[in-house]
C-alpha cells in the first residue's frame, strides 16, 4: 500500500509526500446502535484500511485526490463549503481539518492530500472513520503536533458529526484508533473509555458484503438516532443507557410502538455486550455465537435496520457447521454480515453461501476471511517498516 500511495502521490502532485498515515476499518462485533445511546460496544480493527499522504503548501490551497474518485479537487484558501456528488469523500478530510481547532490543535494552512484504501466502501466496515483518523494523524504530523489516541478518535467523530452531518457515536473511530491485532476493542461510550480484550484462540471472522445500501441510509440512521433520543426524553433520562427495562415497560403507552421497540433493542443489546465480555473471558465461543445471532434478531425485529439480504445470510450462516453465530455489522440498512466461525469454516463453505445468495437474489456476495489488525498510526516516509503510534 505504501508503494502504491507514494507512486500515485508523485504522479498526481509531482512531489514527495511529507507524511503518511494509515487507519484500519473495523468490524462491529456486538453492540448495534448502542454507542450514541451511551452504551457499550465491542469491535475489532481489520488488517485493511485507508492510507493517506499529505504534503503541506504555504499558499493556503488544498488539493485532494483519491482512488475513490480520481480527479483532483482544489479548494481555494479559506474555502470550506461541503462537497457533494463524486467529490463528497473530501468532506471527511476537510471535516477533520475543520475539527482540529476545536481540540486546540492547528490544521495545516494548505496541503496536497491523497488517499488509497483496500477496504470495500459502503460495506459497513467504516471506510469513512479510517479516512478520518488517517487524515488527522497525517495533518498532525505535517504540523509537528502530537495528540493522544483518544483526542485523535474524538477529532474523527467531531468531523463526522459536525461537518459530514452524520450523528454517529464513537464506535468506528474508537475501534480504528484503539484496535490491536488479535484483540477486540471494548468501548464504554459515555466516558468514553477504551479497553481491549483478547480474542479467544480459535475464533475466526468471516465477512459477507452484499454491496447493497439503502438509498436513504443516512436519513434512516439519523431517524433511528432521533427515535432513541425521543425515547430517552420520554423516559426522563439523558441517554437510553440510564433507563431500565421496567421503566421502558411502564412507559410503553407513552413511548408508542416504534420508540418502545428502539429502547428495548438498545437495552437488550447493552446487556448482550456485557454477557459477551464474560463469554470471551471464559472462551465460550458457543454462547458468544448465540449472542451474535440474538443481536441480529433484535436489530431485525426491534431496531428494524436489517434487510432481506442480511437476514438471508445470517439465517443461512447460523445453520452451518463451523459457524458460532452471525449478525449484521455496522449501521445496517444494507452492508455486510459478520460470522464468528471455527477454523473449519473455509473458502468452500463461503462459496456455498455465495451460491445460495446468488440463487435467491441473483446477485453477488463477496466473502472475506477477515484478519484483525492494529489501530491507526503514522508511517515514517522512506522507512515504511517503522511506524509511530499516537501517544497513549
Annotated catalytic residues are 172
Instruction: Candidates 59-67, 106-114, 169-177, 196-204: pick the segment binding ligand GLA (CB under 6 A).
Output: 169-177
User: Interface with ligand GLA includes 330 (CB under 6 A)?
Assistant: yes
Calpha distance 205→292 (Å, rounded) = 12
What cell does 65 get? 485526490
The sign one gets for the Cα dihedral 173, 271, 370, 387 is positive
* Residue 299 contacts residue 265 (beta carbons within 8 Å): yes
* Residue 117 contacts residue 67 (beta carbons within 8 Å): yes
User: Interface with ligand GLA includes 23 (CB under 6 A)?
Assistant: no
User: Interface with ligand GLA includes 96 (CB under 6 A)?
Assistant: no
**Nearest-CA neighbor of 374 among 21, 66, 138, 38?**
21
Q: From the CB of 316, what's the least distance to ligand GLA, in Å?
A: 23
**Nearest-CA neighbor of 58 among 109, 13, 4?**
109
Instruction: Candidates 46-54, 77-85, 165-173, 369-377: pick the segment binding ligand GLA (CB under 6 A).
Output: 165-173
User: What residues does 209 pair with on adjacent strands?
Assistant: 336, 366
What cell does 171 get? 464506535
Instruction: Candidates 30-38, 228-236, 292-300, 315-323: pick the segment binding ligand GLA (CB under 6 A).
Output: 30-38
Q: Where are the alpha helices (DSSP H) in 205-307?
A: 217-235, 245-250, 252-282, 285-298
Q: From the CB of 173, what's the least distance to ligand GLA, in Å?
A: 8
Instruction: Candidates 3-11, 163-171, 270-278, 281-289: pick the segment binding ligand GLA (CB under 6 A).
Output: 163-171
Site string for ligand GLA, 216-235 (x = CB under 6 A): --------------------
When computed from its CA atoms, the radius of gyration of the chain, rounded to whole angstroms, is 21
Number of shown-chain residues binding ligand GLA (CB under 6 A): 11
User: Interface with ligand GLA includes 150 (CB under 6 A)?
Assistant: no
User: Interface with ligand GLA includes 169 (CB under 6 A)?
Assistant: yes
User: What residues does 197 pair with on adjacent strands?
Assistant: 184
Instruction: Pick from 5, 28, 316, 390 the residue near ligand GLA by CB under 6 A.
Output: 28
Instruction: Pick from 45, 100, 134, 168 the residue near ligand GLA by CB under 6 A.
Output: 168
What cell does 3 get? 508503494
Calpha distance 86→229 (Å, rounded) = 32
Region 31-90 residues binding ligand GLA, contact defined as CB under 6 A: 32-33, 35-36
Summarize as ranges the residues that interact with ligand GLA (CB under 6 A). Answer: 28, 32-33, 35-36, 168-169, 171-172, 330-331
Amino acid at each position: 500500500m505504501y508503494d502504491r500511495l507514494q507512486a500515485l502521490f508523485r504522479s498526481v502532485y509531482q512531489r514527495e509526500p511529507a507524511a503518511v498515515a494509515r487507519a484500519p476499518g473495523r468490524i462491529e462485533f456486538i453492540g448495534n446502535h448502542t454507542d450514541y445511546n451511551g452504551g457499550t460496544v465491542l469491535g475489532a480493527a481489520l488488517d485493511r484500511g485507508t492510507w493517506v499522504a499529505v504534503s503541506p503548501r504555504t499558499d493556503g490551497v488544498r488539493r485532494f485526490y483519491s482512488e475513490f474518485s480520481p480527479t483532483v479537487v482544489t479548494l481555494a484558501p479559506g474555502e470550506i463549503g461541503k462537497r457533494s456528488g463524486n467529490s463528497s469523500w473530501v468532506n471527511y478530510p476537510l471535516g477533520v481539518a475543520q475539527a482540529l481547532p476545536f481540540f486546540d490543535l492547528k490544521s495545516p494552512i494548505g496541503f496536497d492530500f491523497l488517499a488509497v484504501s483496500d477496504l470495500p466502501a459502503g460495506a459497513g466496515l467504516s471506510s469513512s472513520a479510517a479516512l478520518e483518523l488517517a487524515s488527522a494523524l497525517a495533518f498532525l504530523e505535517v504540523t509537528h503536533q502530537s495528540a493522544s489516541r483518544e483526542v485523535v478518535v474524538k477529532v474523527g467523530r467531531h468531523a463526522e458529526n459536525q461537518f459530514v452531518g452524520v450523528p454517529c457515536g464513537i464506535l468506528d473511530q474508537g475501534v480504528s484508533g484503539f484496535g490491536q491485532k488479535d484483540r477486540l476493542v471494548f468501548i464504554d461510550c459515555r466516558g468514553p473509555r477504551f479497553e481491549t480484550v483478547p480474542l479467544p484462540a480459535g475464533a475466526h471472522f468471516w465477512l459477507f458484503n452484499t454491496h447493497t445500501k439503502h438509498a436513504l441510509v443516512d436519513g434512516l440512521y439519523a431517524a433511528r438516532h432521533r427515535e432513541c433520543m425521543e425515547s430517552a426524553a420520554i423516559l426522563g433520562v439523558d441517554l437510553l443507557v440510564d433507563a431500565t427495562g421496567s421503566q421502558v415497560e411502564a412507559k410503553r403507552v407513552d413511548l408508542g410502538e416504534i420508540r418502545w421497540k428502539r429502547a428495548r433493542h438498545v437495552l437488550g443489546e447493552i446487556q448482550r455486550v456485557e454477557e459477551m465480555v464474560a463469554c470471551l473471558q471464559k472462551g465460550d465461543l458457543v454462547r458468544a455465537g448465540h449472542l451474535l445471532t440474538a443481536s441480529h434478531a433484535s436489530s431485525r425485529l426491534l431496531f428494524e435496520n436489517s434487510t432481506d439480504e442480511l437476514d438471508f445470510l445470517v439465517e443461512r450462516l447460523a445453520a452451518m457447521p463451523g459457524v458460532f453465530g452471525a449478525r449484521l455489522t455496522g449501521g445496517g440498512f444494507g452492508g455486510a454480515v459478520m460470522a464468528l466461525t471455527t477454523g473449519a469454516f473455509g473458502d468452500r463453505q463461503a462459496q456455498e453461501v455465495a451460491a445460495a445468495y446468488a440463487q435467491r437474489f441473483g446477485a453477488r456476495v463477496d466473502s472475506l476471511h477477515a484478519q484483525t489488525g492494529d489501530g491507526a498510526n503514522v508511517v515514517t516516509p522512506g522507512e515504511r517498516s517503522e511506524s509511530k503510534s499516537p501517544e497513549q
